[in-house]
Amino acid sequence: MVTPILKWAGGKRQLLDELKSRFPRSYSHFHEPFFGGGALFFDLEPEDGTINDTNTRLVNFYKQVRDRPDELIELCRSFDHPESDPNPDRNFAETNRKGKEISNFYYQQRELFNNRPYGDEYDELEEAALLLYLNRTCYNGLYRENSSGGFNVPIGRYSDPDWVREQEVREASRVLQNTEIHNTDFDYVRDKVEEGDLVYFDPPYEPMSPTAYFTDYSADGFDKEDQQRLLDFAKELDQMGVNVILSNSGVMYEMYDEAGFHVEVEGATRAINSDADNRDEVDEIIATNVPPKSRRTVGQQGLSDF
């Protein structure tokens, strides 16, 4: 099992056993169209398949991990502590794009990381290294973008943050070697799957309440129309003989139940939330077209009814 490199909202490390208990006894290739932190993928260490995410900078990060791990590690080692003085030899050593004072190394790197969305020249390797650096040193490990696509999470407070993650990067690079990495809509997988493959969907969740938008980690949201489109696509894959497993918030129970999927409720504690008091257990569903008698293991099941 490989440890995920990044902290990522909506990560599935606490649901790994429940997800794997829905796996078919055997499958050919593994596909994950909403990759994020990739907890399930790295736990499985699949030999091949595809991954995808709509976050362009996240996709670039995994490509650099796969193809240039040594260079990525070396560049990360060159970074200073987030509270150090800015590097006078780089842009934004004194002020940011809006003319506000840059107080430390962290905010200079955050401004450099945002070169892509604001139309400045950027280097893909440096962008990947900065993503890892910011992820390990920002407030609570959050990833959040403004409406222009700019990363805007403030500095965190850590006594000894590890932004190099050498072992994790090398192990992830090994696992990703035979994996296709995509940056597109989830339906790309239609042209990649074969009968008997396994597809795991972990979309941005339909909120449990009007204020519960903590998984909207990019400037482009995932609305109710997208949720319906995903359900229709899951039904299409089912007709193609593809194994489908999907996680989502509890409010989606009836949609998948009425569509004929096996749906059960699981509890999951949110590890990333801007308010520590709100890191509570929330209802999530796991829906699948894999019947219980065809699953690899039975495992502990969730509630069958709401």
pLDDT digits (tens, 9 = 90+) for 250-282: 999 999 999 999 999 997 655 444 454 444 456
Domain range for 127 is: 63-165
Query: E-assigned strands of the chain?
Result: 30-32, 49-52, 179-182, 198-201, 243-249, 262-269, 281-288
Tens digit of pLDDT for each residue in 49-67? 999 999 999 999 999 999 9
Q: Which pLDDT value is given to residue 110?
A: 98
The chain-wide mean pLDDT, for the chain, equals 90
Say yes or no: 105 and 161 in one domain.
Answer: yes
Do 44 and 90 reside in the same domain of the chain?
no
Rounded CA-CA distance 29/17 in Å is 20
Domain count within the chain: 2
CATH of the domain at 148: 1.10.1020.10
Q: What is the pLDDT of residue 301?
A: 37
- Report the pLDDT value the prediction gives residue 304, as an integer from 0 to 100: 33
Q: 173 lies in a domain?
A: no
CA atoms of 104 and 253, how far apart (whole Å): 46
Name the band, by pLDDT with cuts 50, 70 and 90, for residue 9: confident
pLDDT class of 81 with cuts at 50, 70, 90: very high
Residues 46 and 81 in one domain: no
Give me the residues paired with residue 284 across strands. 249, 266
Can you tell me which residue has the tokens 């902290």? 7
Say yes or no: 221 and 72 in one domain: no
Give the model's confidence band at 14: pLDDT under 50 very low, under 70 low, under 90 confident, else very high. Answer: confident
Task: Provide the phi-psi class of 273: left if phi over 0, else alpha when psi is between -120 and 50, else beta.
Answer: beta
Rounded to whole angstroms, the Cα distance separating 245 from 234 reads 9
Q: Is the pTM of this model over 0.85?
A: yes
For range 80-88, the mean pLDDT: 98
Residue 40 has pLDDT above 50, yes or no: yes
Do 69 and 150 belong together in one domain?
yes
pLDDT band at 157 (very low <50, low <70, confident <90, very high): very high
Residue 304 counted as domain residue? no
Burial class (CB in 10 A: 0-12, 13-18, 19+), 239: exposed
Task: Note whether residue 5 is domain-resident.
Answer: no
In a domain, residue 37? The reply is yes
Least confident of 29-33, 72-76, 218-222, 297-301: 297-301
Beta-carbon contacts of residue 74 (< 8 Å; ≥ 6 apart): none
Arithmetic mean of pLDDT, 25-54: 97
Instruction: Give a yes or no: residue 109 inside a domain.
Output: yes
pLDDT band at 10 (very low <50, low <70, confident <90, very high): confident
Q: Are residues 107 and 24 in the same domain?
A: no
